[in-house]
Amino acid sequence: MSETSAPRTDNVPAVTVSELAGAVKRTLELAFSRVRVRGEITELKTYPSGHTYLALKDQGAKIRAIIWKGSAARIGLRPENGTEVIATGKITAYSERSEYQLIIERLDYAGEGALLARIEKLRVALAAEGLFDTTRKRALPMLPRVIGVVSSPQGAVIQDIKTTIARRFPSTIILWPVAVQGEAAAEQIAAAISAFSNLPPEGDIPRPDVVIVARGGGSLEDLMAFNDEAVVRAVAASTIPLVSAVGHETDTTLIDFAADLRAATPTAAAEIVAPDRLTLAADLTQSGARLSGALTRVIHERRLQLDRAGTRLPDLPTLLGAARQRLDDRSNRLEMALPYFTIAKRRSLENLAARLPDAAGMLARKSHMLELVAQRLPILLSTRMRETRIRLESAGARLEALSYNAVLARGFALVTNPKGAAISTLAAATRESDLDVHFSDGTLPVQRKGTSPRQEALDL
């Protein structure tokens, strides 16, 4: 008998791969219909379809996981790589790859330790950017006309704020309703804070003078929306002074560091932004009384100073009488001074006239002296002219003796160029084309010919 016809040795029926994969999937889904798995998120990736694929790992193993698009809005928190979480869901299998995976329906942080570590890491990063600097803090308005509140429209928080403000100092309250926990809470809170900041001053909706971000107490997971980075940045970027009032007195969130002021509770926030009108009225009455007393004291002190100054002033009627008497005296003296002045000046003029010389005698003497000078003047002029003529003739004779004309008369000649400059050497004569030869009885113009210096000399 051949090997192909050997009888079967077992009775296990053969199944297809798909049948086996389906059986495994059903077994997993029945055995692990709902599980809670603790692990660290890794390989996180969200596809355009809206589905999120990730893996959960610990020190010894890793399991694939999926968050379907329909579950993303109610998953509980935003998944991030490196975050330790507790994932609630069911186990199923992906037959095409023979892999099992976790379909996640809810995510929770794995204990407060992981949450606090994540919050502290974000706090350090934001502090390094300067978002928590005290120099950024602004003073709250003393009497806000409009108060903005970012909180849930349900619950006791908004009612406590309204009641407290109405009791202390009634003001307009604008509530921007938001979710204060859950996946969408952080986005709504950040959007509400930014929306308040972007309101125009004269718009249809009054722009708040101060904003309160409020929430009641809760667990650390419940307050995580106020530790979200987007919310903290919106608080830091707010153009309106902002008060954080999240949780109870012992609760601290990251927006407390970025806000201009932190209140222990929402009621305390309302008491901070709305002053007590009774206290203000009492302070105003006290300030008015102090101001009135101060004014009374100032007036009294000024009156005393005026009285003391008045005692040091002289008697005005006495001063006026003395001044009037001096005026009368000066007027009388002035009336008498002008005649006396005229008499004195006339006497001075008479004295000067007496000391003046005799003008007629002086004139006669001067006339006689002038006649004598007129008689001697012709004789003096004649004598002076004769002496001058003799000196002139003597100078002319000496000049004639020194003149070159006498030399020319003895047979010599004077050679000049056309400009009249004397030519005294042969070299100078050779440089001139025209020459003038002066004799005692006239001048002879000469033109030089030839090129040889000798010839030129002969031509001359």
Dihedral, CA of residue 128, residue 133, residue 136 and residue 139, to nearest 10: 150
In this structure, of 51-65, 121-135, 254-268, 399-413, the range with the lowest mean pLDDT score is: 399-413
Q: Over 70: is that where the pLDDT of 200 sits?
A: yes
Q: Over 80: is that where the pLDDT of 3 sits?
A: no
Q: What pLDDT score does 429 carry?
A: 80
Q: Which of 427, 402, 397, 401 is nearest to 415 (CA)?
A: 427
Q: Over 90: is that where the pLDDT of 149 sits?
A: yes
Q: What pLDDT score does 456 carry?
A: 44
As a whole number of angstroms, the distance between CA 280 and CA 168 comes to 10
Q: What pLDDT score does 427 carry?
A: 82
Chain-centre distance for alpha carbon 96: 67
The kind and range of the H/E element at 339 are helix 316-355
The CATH class of 117-279 is alpha beta
Q: Over 80: is that where the pLDDT of 386 sits?
A: yes
Q: Which residue would you say has higher pLDDT here, 314 or 86?
A: 86
391 φ/ψ angles, rounded to the nearest 5 degrees: -65, -35
How sure is the predictor about 6, in pLDDT bands with cuts at 50, 70 and 90? low
As a whole number of angstroms, the distance between CA 143 and CA 165 comes to 12
Q: What pLDDT score does 234 carry?
A: 93
In this structure, of 39-43, 289-293, 317-321, 456-460, the range with the lowest mean pLDDT score is: 456-460
Q: Over 80: is that where the pLDDT of 43 sits?
A: yes
End-to-end CA distance of the chain: 168
Average pLDDT over residues 416-445: 83
Annotate 279-294 with b (16+ C-beta within 10 A) or e (fewer): eeeeeeeeeeeeeeee
Pairing of strands 84-94, 99-109: antiparallel
As a whole number of angstroms, the distance between CA 374 and CA 361 comes to 20
Q: What pLDDT score does 371 carry?
A: 84
Q: Over 60: is that where the pLDDT of 55 sits?
A: yes
Task: Give me the residue label for tokens 């978002």.
Answer: 131
As given in the structure block, the two tokens for residue 323 are: 């001044």
Q: What pLDDT score does 396 carry?
A: 80
pLDDT tens readout for residues 75-123? 777 788 877 888 898 888 887 777 888 889 888 777 666 677 778 888 8
As a whole number of angstroms, the distance between CA 266 and CA 150 comes to 11
Q: What pLDDT score does 2 carry?
A: 46
In this structure, of 40-54, 148-162, 205-219, 402-416, the range with the lowest mean pLDDT score is: 402-416
Q: Which of 14-18, 224-228, 361-365, 436-440 has the highest mean pLDDT?
A: 224-228
Residue type (1 letter), 8: R
Pairing of strands 414-416, 434-439: antiparallel
Chain-centre distance for alpha carbon 353: 87
Mean pLDDT over the full length of the chain: 83
Q: What pLDDT score does 111 carry?
A: 64
How sure is the predictor about 181, in pLDDT bands with cuts at 50, 70 and 90? confident
In this structure, of 50-54, 158-162, 402-406, the range with the lowest mean pLDDT score is: 402-406
Alpha-carbon separation of residue 60 from 40, 83, 102 (angstroms): 12, 17, 17
- DSSP string across 78-95: ---TT-EEEEEEEEEEET
Q: What pLDDT score does 199 carry?
A: 92
Q: Which of 261, 245, 259, 221 is nearest to 119 (CA)?
A: 221
Average pLDDT over residues 228-240: 92
Q: Read off the DSSP letter of residue 226.
A: G
Q: What pLDDT score does 7 carry?
A: 54
CATH code linked to domain 17-109: 2.40.50.140
How sure is the predictor about 458, in pLDDT bands with cuts at 50, 70 and 90? very low
Q: Over 50: is that where the pLDDT of 460 sits?
A: no
Q: Over 60: is that where the pLDDT of 452 sits?
A: no
Q: Over 80: is that where the pLDDT of 216 sits?
A: yes
Q: What percent of the chain has pLDDT over 90?
A: 20
Return the domain boundaries, the chain.
17-109, 117-279, 407-459
pLDDT tens readout for residues 349-375? 888 877 777 777 788 888 888 888 888
